[in-house]
Amino acid sequence: MVNTLVIDPRDMVGVALVELEDGSMVTFADMNGQRVHALEPIPFGHKIALVPIAEGQHIIKYGASIGVAARDIQPGEHVHTHNLKSVRGARQ
């Protein structure tokens, strides 16, 4: 059963289609053998890291940057305001 939405092959995060419990296997279409388990509970509609994301790296969701990592993020971690810094409206 698919439990995570991934739109673009470049996406670094998926969106939980159901509440994911700690240890849940993340499943999405076209996983290409990828295995990710939730490292903590992920609320419905929230993001989960699918790949390692380094501090300062842009986080890609739906094929576009949604901000930068405020710290290193491991696959299976909840991605939200505690570890994601928005760059919306930031001057370059």
Residues 56-89 have pLDDT tens digits of: 999 999 999 999 999 999 999 999 999 999 887 6
pLDDT in the model for residue 87? 80
Q: How far is CA 55 from CA 6, 31, 60, 64, in A?
A: 22, 25, 14, 17
Residue 34 pLDDT > 90: no
Residue 36 pLDDT > 80: yes
What is the residue extent of each domain of the chain? 1-92
Question: Under CATH, what is the fold of the domain 1-92?
Answer: 2.30.130
* Residue 57: DSSP 8-state: P
pTM of the full structure: 0.90
Residue 16 pLDDT > 80: yes
60, 45 contact by CB (below 8 A): no
Residue 35 pLDDT > 90: no
Residue 92 pLDDT > 60: no
50, 20 contact by CB (below 8 A): no
Average pLDDT score over the chain? 92
